[in-house]
Structure 1
Amino acid sequence: MNPNLSDWDDDLPPEPEEAYQDLLRALKRKSGFGLFFVQCTPVEADKFIVKLPQEIPQKKIAVLRFVEAIDNLYQPVAEFVKDKQIDILLIKGLEYSLYKYEKRSFGEITEGQFSNLTSVPHILNHLNQQRERFRDDFPISFVFLLRSFSINYFIHRAPDFFDWRSGVFELPTTPEVVEQESNRLLREGNYDKYLKLTHQQKIERVIEFQDLLREKHQTDNRKVNLLFELGNLLSATKEYEAAITFRSQALKIKADDHEAWNNQGYALFKLGRNEEAIAAFDQALKIKADNHETWNNRGIALGYLKRYEEEIASYDKAIEIKPDYQDAWYHRGIGLKDLGKWKEALASWKKAIEIQPNDDSSWDWQGNALNNLGQSEEGIICYDQAIALNPKHPHAWYNRGITLGNLGRYEEAITSYDQALKIQPDDYESWYLRGNALSNLVRYEEAIASYDQALKCKPDDYTAWYSRGGALIKLGRWREGNHSISKAIEINPSFGKALLDIQKKHIISWFQQKLCLKKLVQIWISFLRLIGFRR
């Protein structure tokens, strides 16, 4: 975040080296209570902590470090300074108390602005309220070692406390520190590790990247790499727009990075911008045509655009490059399913399972394929395997329930739906089909309760209203049943017309049956007369 320097009055000198010397002079002269705010990176803060006692040997200096959020600073300070003679107290780590309040709106790194907060962070509210106690109880100089975004919080959210400052200073950053810290971030960069970071840790890491990208000692080559890695981090935080923004900056400088184009395509895909995603994947493939992951990603994006033939061709290319690439076999099956080619889809999922036997999703889809090919019992075996691998796979339980219901095994179907609903209590389809299974068992009261749950999840589903109405009528609750069916017709008038057409066909069929019976009686009488039968 780039603070508005005009808000700092004239506290921050233009040259950090000058600021550092000003800070030393101010701390040497100061006696009693004082507030000093020092902008620096954590590495610079550690160096300053070591160096300051050597610069001012005549002062007694102590360090209070925080490694997690706090809401009260007075109490830790009171306990720390008790029975100690301290002239200067360095406080490091207060930013941990601010990360959770950082509601970032990411964009161009040169346009970072202070976040508009709806509340004051607890620690800053505490400092505002307790400033007189700090002044009266602690005759020492407080030196807050902070990142720039933290100082911005003090300016905007702790103005009463901040107004008593003795100055704001910026520690100089050496090229060696910039290189060291940049390399550390790049070395630690790992998408899977980013996913495991807490929200606050992700915010902290983003701020580190942005601080280093602004450094005047940053080289162009490292800047490009940092931008690419920041894009990966932002993708892990699901800040896809921001990831695209930063990665685009890097690609303007270094357009021949196939991995960056692939990652850019993924971020665009996650935003539903599939045409742009495909263009990014194509760009990556121009640079490195044998990247199986990019071909696979391209296929997935094409599938979302319903360009199924091209989708499957992309998976085929990925498999040609890497024949044991399970993900491509899996998605190829889905593409073939979308084309209605269940037999070929089944072969694809079987191959995916051959490569990775523990993939519960492939077992689930194999079950669907077998069902559609009329092999329901084999399908159930596949669902059972998927569930054995992942008991919390709601779709496998749900699909198992459908198959059992189609086989007339309604009790077992209900058990499967119940398991699916334990995992996803708001799954409309499971509640609805559970109701149908109960209706088939003539357990209408329970069926109605199930339909009611389905309608809580999806109030405008006419099929649930209609099925509910049918169950009510079978219980003799005609008024409620008719109201429920009327609701279904109100939601979907075309369904009402279709229902009326069905009723008409039933009536016509009934009359036709009556007419046929009358004709049959006439033929029978004629036959009896022919053989000389007399009453």
Structure 2
Amino acid sequence: MSSSKKPSQQPSQINLSAEIGQFISLNQEAFAELLTFIDFAEKFTLGLVEVNFPPDVDLLIAALQNNPDCENIQFFILKCVDANLRFLRDEIIKRLSEIELESNKKLVLIVRGLENAIGVFGEYPPVLQDLNFVRDAYKRTVPHPILFILPDYAITRLAKFAPDFWAWRSGIFRFKTPAITKENAINQVKNSEILDRIEPPEKQERIDLLHRLLMEEKPTGQQVTDGNLRSYSNILHQLGQAYLSHIKPEKAREYLEEAERISENLQDELFQAEVINTLGDTYSLQRQFNLGIKYYEKSLLIARRLENRLSEINALFKLGNAYLDLRQFSQAAKFYQQCLDIEQEIGDRYSQASTYHELGRVAQNLREWEQAKTYYQQALDITIEFGDRYSQASTYHQLGIVAQNLREWEQAKTYYQQALDLKIEFGDRYSQASTYGQLGTLAEAQENYVEARLNLQTALEIYVEYKDEHWAGIARKILDELPE
């Protein structure tokens, strides 16, 4: 008679079981109440489950599916990933028709991910309008208990914008977030910071994570505790930066202004200087450069009072950018030179690259082509030295403009292509538009109008995609004036 050894659990299974156990241990009361709700719920019954992070949703669903009290329950999971979803009931009915019901088991629907369609701001999301409008039809067409698993902000918006549907709720269950989940989310936010700048605006992963972290510091209807003020204000600042990178300056200001108020209360002047600088950026993005300058000057005063050289460099650099955009070139050059002097004084060679790049732009605008070329080459040498391929793209682009103005057509095209290749490599779609635009004007100068139109049309499409009306208007104008 042979004996068989019971297979041991895989490490991943053991880890998952441990994570589920930790999550349920933290939320014993809420989980027990949810199990009772599932046990007694019959026909259409609405339960709302507050879980702020998707990994914890996975743990909760796994805990329900593996709980002995649910052995007579057939859970059906509907994962909503479409941000444009409007008719949820139709989607539920369609999906229910595709599954096979298990005999002698009660069907319980779990809807997760609906926050993608609910969104974090804006009035009356279409999916909530429809929920409110067809709420009575749910009793007839979806005769099963439904659990909506949503983060804090989405439940708040559901209550606000679908009050009639909200009134059907028979229970609301709030689950706490484990510390490890928050730590992982914070690390994910840090790792996605650079990608957030170069992904299309509709890529909302980082903003979504930041909003979930913000809810952890300040749940709906509660005040931020003194111990959470610093981390809360940091998240506000990061949200402002994220919305700014997604070309949403007004939304960015909402969070940045609150972050500045908190920094004043905390008497954290260095953080306040950072936030003020970013507030200036929101106005500069809207081409309100004089207003941006007021914020940069305020930040510069704080930095000098604190004798913080890095903060001083940051404010000086932004002042240079604003004056360059105002075409006040001597003033811009003065601030950039002050930047460069401090960077050389403290031995910050890497930062000198961006300063040389901007000094190149000043010389270029003054049509001092050889001086511009020298500055750009200095910037390029440093970025190559430090292996910063992403930053090389913008310098190659500017070298292309210089070569084009010197009527060095082939050299200009080579530089533009090098810039474009790097931007494509790093997925920086938005800044590809400017290079396509330059390739268009280069082809126009060579009377290659077919190629010019093709490149300019590509640039226009990207600007429209990013809702940049200023540059879209310029691209349209050049296209309209192109000979047939």
Shift of 1:87: 3.2
Shift of 1:168: 3.1
Structure 1 residue 235 corresponds to structure 2 residue 256: no
Residue 335 of structure 2 corresponds to: 314
> Could you report, residue by residue, the CA deviation over 1:416-444 in whole angstroms, capped at 9, with x for unpaired residues?
x4422211145534664x55xxxxxxxxx
What are structure 2's unaligned runs of at least 5 residues? Answer: 1-26, 385-391, 421-434, 458-474
Query: 1:75 pairs with 83, 94, 97, which one?
Result: 94
Structure 1 residue 98 corresponds to structure 2 residue 98: no
**Counterpart residue type for residue 255 of structure 1:** E
Q: How large is the RMSD of aligned CA atoms in angstroms? A: 3.9
Structure 1 residue 327 corresponds to structure 2 residue 354: yes
**1:98 counterpart SS class:** helix
Instruction: Give the fraction of aligned pairs with identical amino acids, expressed as a percent.
Output: 13
Question: What is the CA–CA distance in structure 2 between the aligned matches of 1:276 and 1:44, rounded to whole Å?
Answer: 44
TM-score relative to the length of structure 2: 0.65
Query: 2:176 pairs with 173, 182, 192, which one?
Result: 173
**2:176 counterpart SS class:** coil
**1:238 counterpart SS class:** coil
For residues 44 and 418 of structure 1, do their structure 2 counterparts lie closer, same or farther at Cα, with a shift above 3 Å needed? closer
Residue 383 of structure 1 corresponds to: 412
Larger radius of gyration: 1
Query: 1:225 pairs with 208, 230, 234, which one?
Result: 234
Query: 2:447 pairs with 411, 414, 417, which one?
Result: 414
Question: What is the CA–CA distance in structure 1 between the aligned matches of 2:207 and 2:134, rounded to whole Å?
Answer: 23
Residue 389 of structure 2 corresponds to: none
**2:297 counterpart SS class:** helix
Question: What is the CA–CA distance in structure 2 between the aligned matches of 1:39 and 1:430, rounded to whole Å?
Answer: 51
Structure 1 residue 395 corresponds to structure 2 residue 422: no
Question: What is the CA–CA distance in structure 1 between the aligned matches of 2:188 and 2:77, rounded to whole Å?
Answer: 28
For residues 263 and 188 of structure 1, do their structure 2 counterparts lie closer, same or farther at Cα, with a shift above 3 Å needed? farther
**2:196 counterpart SS class:** helix
Shift of 1:284: 6.8
Residue 401 of structure 2 corresponds to: 365
Question: What is the CA–CA distance in structure 1 between the aligned matches of 2:172 and 2:128, rounded to whole Å?
Answer: 24
Question: What is the CA–CA distance in structure 1 between the aligned matches of 2:166 and 2:480, rounded to whole Å?
Answer: 58
For residues 348 and 297 of structure 1, do their structure 2 counterparts lie closer, same or farther at Cα, with a shift above 3 Å needed? same
Question: What is the CA–CA distance in structure 2 between the aligned matches of 1:180 and 1:298, rounded to whole Å?
Answer: 41
**Counterpart residue type for residue 242 of structure 2:** L
Residue 147 of structure 1 corresponds to: 151
Question: What is the CA–CA distance in structure 2 between the aligned matches of 1:235 and 1:246, rounded to whole Å?
Answer: 11
For residues 353 and 396 of structure 1, do their structure 2 counterparts lie closer, same or farther at Cα, with a shift above 3 Å needed? farther
Residue 297 of structure 2 corresponds to: 279
> Could you report, residue by residue, the CA deviation over 1:490-516 in whole angstroms, capped at 9, with x for unpaired residues?
xxxxxxxxxxxxxxxxxxxxxxxxxxx
Structure 1 residue 255 corresponds to structure 2 residue 269: yes
Q: In 2, are the aligned partners of 1:299 and 1:314 still within 8 Å (CA)?
A: yes
**Counterpart residue type for residue 49 of structure 2:** V
For residues 345 and 90 of structure 1, do their structure 2 counterparts lie closer, same or farther at Cα, with a shift above 3 Å needed? same
**Counterpart residue type for residue 185 of structure 1:** A
> Could you report, residue by residue, the CA deviation over 1:385-432 in whole angstroms, capped at 9, with x for unpaired residues?
334435763325525654xxxxxxxxxx311x4422211145534664
**2:454 counterpart SS class:** helix
Structure 1 residue 86 corresponds to structure 2 residue 105: yes
Q: In 1, are the aligned partners of 2:75 and 2:107 still within 8 Å (CA)?
A: yes
**1:116 counterpart SS class:** coil
TM-score relative to the length of structure 1: 0.59
Give the count of matched residue pairs: 383
**Counterpart residue type for residue 104 of structure 1:** F
Correspondences of 1:426-441 after superposition (within 5 Å): 427-429=476-478, 432=481, 435=483
For residues 185 and 226 of structure 1, do their structure 2 counterparts lie closer, same or farther at Cα, with a shift above 3 Å needed? farther
Question: What is the CA–CA distance in structure 1 between the aligned matches of 2:363 and 2:40, rounded to whole Å?
Answer: 78
Q: In 2, are the aligned partners of 1:353 and 1:362 still within 8 Å (CA)?
A: no
What are structure 1's unaligned runs of at least 5 residues? Answer: 1-15, 106-114, 371-375, 403-412, 436-449, 451-535
**2:269 counterpart SS class:** coil
Question: What is the CA–CA distance in structure 2 between the aligned matches of 1:119 and 1:88, rounded to whole Å?
Answer: 24
Question: What is the CA–CA distance in structure 2 between the aligned matches of 1:74 and 1:143, rounded to whole Å?
Answer: 15
Question: What is the CA–CA distance in structure 1 between the aligned matches of 2:246 and 2:476, rounded to whole Å?
Answer: 27
Deviates most, 155-164 or 253-262: 155-164
Question: What is the CA–CA distance in structure 2 between the aligned matches of 1:296 and 1:394, rounded to whole Å?
Answer: 26
Shift of 1:207: 3.5
